[in-house]
Structure formats: structure tokens, C-alpha cells
Homo-oligomer: A and B are copies of this chain.
Amino acid sequence: MEKFDICVHFLLAKALQRVNQVSKSKLASYGVTPVQFALLRRLWEKDGQFGYALAEQLLMDSATITGIIDRLEHNGFIERRMDPNDRRNKLVFLTEKGKSMEVSLCEKMDEMNKEVMSDFDVEEIQQFKKVLFKIGISNTNMGV
């Protein structure tokens, strides 16, 4: 069993790949991708946010955010509005369609979570998340 000698990089990539695949299939019928869901969730928590604020929360490049907002807007989930106080900024708001999907989409992602993490008990998951957090977030110059 030298299975766990596999490089962490590879294992991380494949674990994410799997989670992405399950998420994608759960969300597909709604026309939303996993990353788009992550952005929507921020808006369900607090509607009307600046692009740079969303980028910060999602630890993403502003170029990436632009593309994701483009597609969500094109599909009618959100809309951009100019900030009247600072015309450099654009505020992102949910549309009615975007608001109405919160419950269904969150349910689907709960299903995903159960499906992917069902092999582990609470303690294992906590420890696992702690390591992920240290690797990916707390060691960075980025926000928490």
C-alpha cells in the first residue's frame, strides 16, 4: 500500500476534481457551475456587493471574477449596476431569478457534501479541514 506516497499535489487535484464533478452534476440542470454557485452564495448572504469585494471573499483574481459575473449576468441570475458614488465601481445584485434559487441550489450542494464526505466522521472531517485551511489560507497574505 504505497498509495499514500502519492504526491500531495496530485491527491489534492484529484480530490478537487471529484468534488467538482459531483457538484457539477448536481447543479447542471439549473444552469449554474460550482464556482458560480460560490459567488451566488455570497450574494445570498449580502446582496449588492462590489466586484472587488467578491474577489476578495472568493480569493480570486479580478479577471476571473469578471468572467464569472459575465456568465451569471448573461443567464439572468444577477445584474450589474453602477455605483453612483464612485463610477469606477460596479455593484452586483441578484435578480428575482437569482434570489429564488437559493433553497434548491443549497439543497443540492448539501447532497453533494453528504455524498463526498459520508465515509468520514466529524472528527476526521474537522482535522482534514484544519490541514486544508492551514495549507491554503492561513499561510497566505490573503484574508481569512
Query: Which chain A residues have a beta carbon within 8 Å of chain B's beta carbons?
Result: 3-4, 6-20, 23, 34, 38, 59, 109, 112-113, 116-117, 119-120, 124-137, 139-140, 144
Q: A8 to B129, Cβ gap below 8 A? A: yes
Residue pair B3, A133 in contact (C-beta under 8 Å): yes
Copies in the complex: 2
Establish whether residues A15 and B127, one from each chain, have CB atoms under 8 Å apart when the complex forms. Answer: no
Q: Which of B14, B112, B120, B132 contacts A137 (CB 8 A)?
A: B14
**In the docked arrangement, what's the CA distance between A127 and B34, Å?**
27
- Among candidates B3, B116, B120, B125, residue contacting A144 with C-beta atoms closer than 8 Å: B3
| CA gap between A10 and B14 in the complex, in Å | 14
